[in-house]
Structure 1
Amino acid sequence: MYILVTPAKNEEEHLPQLIESVLSQTIQPILWVIVDDNSQDKTSILINAACKKHQWIKYTKLIDSSEYDWLGYGRVVKHGFTHAQKIAESENINYDFLGILDADIVLSNTYFEYLIEGLNEDPTVGITSGTLYIKTKKGTVPEDNSDCPRGGARLYRRFCFEDIGGFSELPSPDTVSDIKAMNRGWNLTRTKKAGALHNRKSSSTRGLWNGYKKMGEGRYYLNFHPFAAFLSGLYIAKNPPFYQGFAYIYGYFKSYVTKNGQTNDDEIMIYFAKGWNKIKMKAKKDITRK
C-alpha cells in the first residue's frame, strides 16, 4: 500500500487527466494528498470535486506560498508528506511506500503496479520511478536516458524515506534524496516497464529560461563546484533548445558573484566535494597518459 502526494499550482489544464490516470491505476494509493499551492485558477475546485467522490483523496492548501523558487517546490511537497503522514497516523492507515506525482503527468494504468513489483522483488531498492515521455515533432520520446529515478513520479520505500530524514526542502530535493539514500546503502532504479507522459518539459513550469536559471541557482546553493557547474551547463546546452544550458550557467554564476547563501548540510557539501575531486583525478590521469 502506498500514499501519494501531488503539488499543484494553477494546474486546471492538467488536473483532470492526472486524476483520471490515478483513478485508473491497477493499484490505487490508499491515500492521496493534493497540495494546492495558492492557485489562482480552478485548481481548488477540481481537487475538492475529486475529494467528494473519493474519500481517500485529501485536499490541503498553502496560502503563504508564491512562485516556485529554488526552495518552493521542496517546501510544498514536504508539507504534503507531513499532512499525509498525520492523516495516516490518525486514521491508522498502514503503508509501505510513499510517492510523489507532479500535476502535469499522465500515468499508464500499471505505472505504480510495476514500481511496487520492483520494490517487492529487491529489498535493497529505496527509490524508484518509471520512464517519463514527452511529445515532440518526431513523436513521443523518453525525456532523458538516465538510469536515475525521475523526481516527478517516484516511489520511496517507507524505510528508506524515514532513513534519509523524509523529504528535503533544499533545492533539487530529488537529487538530495538520491544522495542521502545512496550514502545509506540504498539502491536507486528506473524501470522502462512503467511509463508516463509528461505534459511539459521538466523545469519549464515558469518557462525554460527561468526553470534552468533557478536550477543553476539551486546547484550553487548545494555547493556545486563552479567548473563542474560550467561543464553541466555546456552539457545541457547540447540539446535544443540550446539556451537552457546558458540559463543554467547564468543562474549559477549570478549566485556565485552575489554570494547567495549556501547549504550547511555537511552530507551534501561533502558529496559534491568528493564528486569534484573525482573529476580532477580523472583529468589528471588523462593528461598523464598523453
Structure 2
Amino acid sequence: MPDTEQLPLQPVAAAPAVNPHIVPLVIISPVRDEAKYLRRTLDSVVAQTYRPIEWIVVDDGSVDATPDIVREYAAKYPFIRLLPRQDRGFRKLGGGVIAAFNFGKEHIQHSEYQYIAKLDGDMSFGPLYLERMFQRLQIDPKLAAVSGKVYRDEDGRYIEETHIDEQVAGQFKLYKRKAFEDIGGFVQHLSWDGIDVHSAWMKGWKTFSFYDPQAWLWHHRIMGSSDKHIYEGRLRWGRAMWYMGYHPLYAIAAGINRMREKPVFIGGLLMIFGFFWCWVRRQPSYDNMEFRRYLRQWQMTRLKNTLLGKK
C-alpha cells in the first residue's frame, strides 16, 4: 500500500480528451437517484484518453434529476446512451443492480465489443484510468479483469477500501468479454462481486487490482451505505457472505478484520451477525456446490497462511 501522504488529489471535472483512442469497450452503469454524484462519473469518462465505443446508463427508476443529467451529456457525447428501466419502487442492491446491468447488456448496439465493464454512478477517476487498465489487460492473456484501488475522502484523509490484490473493485469491473462469458456473467445476488472473481479463478483466469498513481478510483460514499444506512449495509454484507458459501471461520475472520473500519467494531459485528442469522434461519445460498467447495478450500488455505504469517 502506498504512503497516504503521496496520494494524488481527487479528480475534478476535467476537459474532454482531445482525439481519444476509441476501444471496443462497452460500459454499463446501473443508476438510481445518483444526481448528487453522477456528474463526477460522467466527467471522468468523457475525459479519458481511452474512450469506450458505447456507454449505457441504465436509469433504474430514479425520482431525482439523474435521467436529465444523463440526457444532457448524451446530447454532447453520442457514445453515451440513457436507457430507462421500469421503476420497481425501491432501490434493490445486489440482485437489482445486476438485473439492471443485464437489462443494459441486452440493449448493446455495438455487438463487436471485446471488453465489458460495470461502472457505478458515484465514482470519479483520472483521465488515464482506462488507458492504464488496458495496458495491464494486454500484457497477460490470462488476465480476465482489472481495476485500480478504491479510496474515499474522509475528513480530509484518504481512506482505502481494502481488498486483496486479486479482488477487482466492484465499483468498476472491467472484463475481457471472453472471460466474462466464460464465467456466465454476474449472479443476480448481493455477493455477485465475489462470486465472479472466484468463478474466474476456478476456470484458470486471473483478476487483479493494482496501485497506480494515475489509476485511483474515488468512491464518494462509504461502501455499503447507498441504501438506508451503513449498519444495514454491514448486515447485508453478512447475508452476502452466507449466500456466497463462506466457511464460518472465514466469515468470523472477515468480520473481525472489518471492525477497524467505520462504523468501528459494530460494523464487523453486524457482518458476523448477518452471516449466522442466515445460518440459523437456513436462508438460501448459492447452489453451485463445486464453487462452494472451491471457495471454502481457498478460504481455509488463506486463513491458515495468515495465521502462519505467510503471504
Judge same fold: TM > 0.5, yes or no.
yes
In the alignment, what sits opposite 2:150?
132
Q: After superposition, what is the alpha-carbon deviation per residue over 1:51-101, rounded to whole angstroms, capped at 9, x for unaligned?
A: 2222211122222433224422222223223332xx223xxxx32211121
Counting only pairs closer than 5 Å after superposition, residues 105-116 of structure 1 correspond to structure 2 as 105-116=123-134
Tell me which residue corresponds to 2:183.
Answer: 164
The letter for the 1-side match of 2:206 is: N
1:35 Cα deviation from its structure 2 partner = 1.1
What do the CA deviations read for 1:188-244 (whole angstroms, capped 9, x no partner)? Answer: 112322112111121111221111111111111122233322221111113332221
The DSSP-based 3-state class of the residue aligned with 1:98 is strand
2:144 touches 2:200 (CA, 8 Å); kept in 1?
A: yes
- Does the 8 Å CA contact 1:130/1:154 hold for their aligned counterparts? no
Partner of 2:110: 88
* Percent of residue pairs bearing the same amino acid type: 25
Residue 34 of structure 1 aligns with an amino acid whose one-letter code is V
The one of 55, 72, 76 equivalent to 1:32 is 55
Out of 23, 28, 33, the residue aligned to residue 46 of structure 2 is 23
Q: CA deviation at 1:40?
A: 1.4
2:231 aligned partner? 209
The one of 69, 92, 100 equivalent to 2:118 is 100
CA distance in 1, matches of 2:303, 2:133: 37
**Take 2:189 and 2:233, find their aligned partners in 1: how far apart are those partners?**
16
Distance 1:176 1:280, change over 3 A: closer
Q: Using the TM superposition, give the Cα deviation of residue 103 of structure 1 relative to its aligned residue in structure 2, in angstroms.
A: 0.5
CA-based RMSD of the aligned residues comes to 2.2
1:275 aligns with 2:293: no
Structure 2 unaligned segments of length 5 or more: list them: 1-22
Give the match for residue 243 of structure 2. 221
Q: Report the TM-score when normalising by structure 2.
A: 0.83
Q: Is the 2:126–2:216 Cα contact (8 Å) retained in structure 1?
A: yes
For 1:181, the equivalent position in structure 2 comes to 200
Q: Structure 1 residues 158 and 260, CA, compared in 2 at 3 Å: closer, same or farther?
A: same
* Contact 1:74 1:171 (C-alpha < 8 Å) held by counterparts: no
Other-structure match for 1:237: 259
For normalisation by structure 1, the TM-score amounts to 0.88
Q: Which amino acid is 2:95 matched to?
A: L
Contact 2:250/2:303 (8 A) holds in 1: no
In structure 2, the residue matched to 1:264 is 287
Point out where structure 1 has 5 or more consecutive residues left out of the alignment: none
Name whichever of 149-158 and 51-60 sits farther off.
Answer: 51-60
Identify the structure with the greater helix proportion: 1
Q: Which amino acid aligns with 2:261?
A: N
| Contact 1:172/1:218, CA 8 A, preserved across alignment | yes
Contact 1:69/1:214, CA 8 A, preserved across alignment: no
Cα distance in structure 2, aligned partners of 1:56 and 1:223: 39
Aligned residue number for residue 211 of structure 2: 192
Q: Which residue of 2 aligns with 1:78?
A: 102
